[in-house]
Structures are given as structure tokens and as C-alpha cells.
Structure 1
Amino acid sequence: MAEYPINKGIGRPVEFKGLKAQYLFIFCGGLLALFVLFVILYMVGIDQWVCIGFGVASSSVLVWQTFALNARYGEHGLMKLGATRSHPRYLINRRRITRLFKRKRKEETT
């Protein structure tokens, strides 16, 4: 009879080498985009060592920035940052202050 391991990570975010949630998708998508760009540059006819240098430099910057964002903002930090940018910094009330404290009078019917 075959034995299957129990998944004990139910309800927890996806994690790989310390990268959590959206940072993992940013990391994978960025590396895929850099690989496609590397292939395009190579097929255009740019020198092989220039392409390799560009690929190594840009991928190391991508890895460094992704881990820095993960350490700075945490698991849900980028979503919170995006939410705070969509809200106004302050609310403006253009009514006069005295008008705010006045009671409304009932209109008399005749």
C-alpha cells in the first residue's frame, strides 16, 4: 500500500527560500522576463559576452531587490502600500464650521 505525505501547510502562504507570497511571483516573473530578453538580445546579434554580462548583472539586481522588498515590507506589505496610495491623504470639508453645529428647523406648514 502506498503512503502519501500529509500536507501540513494548509492555509499558510507559499514560501521558497524565504520569499513569501507576491515576492515569489515577482521573482519568478522577473527571471523569466530577463531570460526572454537575453534570448532576444542574443538572436539580434549582440556579442555573447555582453549578453551574459547583462543577464548576470540584471538578474543579481532583481534577486537583491526582491529579497530587500521581502525583508522591508513583509508578506502583505506591497498590498498595504498600494492600498495607502489609493486613499486620500486627508479629507476636506468645505462647509463653514458654524453651519455644522446649527440645528435644522422644521418648516411650518400653512
Structure 2
Amino acid sequence: MIRYPINKGVNRPIEFRGLKGQYIYIMAVGLAVLLIIFSILYIAGVPNALLLPVVGIAGFGLLSAIFRLSHRYGVYGLMKAIARRGVPSAIYCNTKKTFTQLLQHNNCTTKD
């Protein structure tokens, strides 16, 4: 009888050293931006004694901020928090004009 291995990791988010899902991509983009900033400043002639500590501190800040977000929100919590900020707390309508236009657009009739 042939035995086939069962893949138990289906539909799980990717994980790397405690970072899960979207935070890995955010970290990769942040590190790429730091590399570009480093190369631009190096070509511009900024002394290495100033350049290395600045980029190192910025990298440490990036890593700590992303790990903090990862532990605070979890895998999908950051997307949910950003979406929640986009939802208005209330919708105010002072006239019936909006609703009557909706009814006319949908060919609905109302009883007055």
C-alpha cells in the first residue's frame, strides 16, 4: 500500500522568525528602502562615520516597529485596523433628496 504525505501547512500564513504574513513583505520593502537611502548618501559623499550609525539606528527602528505591529495586531489585524479607520462613524443626511434620487434611479415607487 502506498502512503502519501499529508501537507498540514495548507492555508497557513508564511512565518519567518516570528513575523507572519504581510509583515515579512513590509520588512523587505523597508530594508530595500534603507539600502537605497544608504547607497544614495554614500554616493553623495556622506562620511561613513555618520552614515553607518544613522542607517543602523533607522534599521533597528524599522525592525522594532514591525515586530511591535506584528505582536499587537497579529496576522490580519493590521489590515482590519486600517479598514476600520476608513469606515465613518455616522452618516448624516439632512434632507430626503438623497433617498428620493435613489428611488427614482431604481424605478421604485413609494406610498406617501
Alpha-carbon distance in structure 1 between the residues aligned to 2:6 and 2:52: 42
Partner of 1:39: 39
Deviates more, 1:76-85 or 1:7-16: 7-16
Q: How does 1:1-110 map to 2 (within 5 A)?
A: 8-92=8-92, 94=94, 104=111
* TM-score of the two chains, using structure 2 as the length reference: 0.74
Offset of 1:45 from its aligned partner? 0.3
Where does structure 1 lack aligned partners over 5 or more consecutive residues?
Answer: 97-103, 106-110
**Cα RMSD (Å):** 2.1
Q: Deviations over 1:75-101 (max 9, x none)?
A: 1111101111111112335469xxxxx
Larger Rg: 1
Between the aligned residues of both structures, percent identity stands at 39
Offset of 1:8 from its aligned partner? 3.9
Q: Aligned pair count?
A: 95
* TM-score of the two chains, using structure 1 as the length reference: 0.76
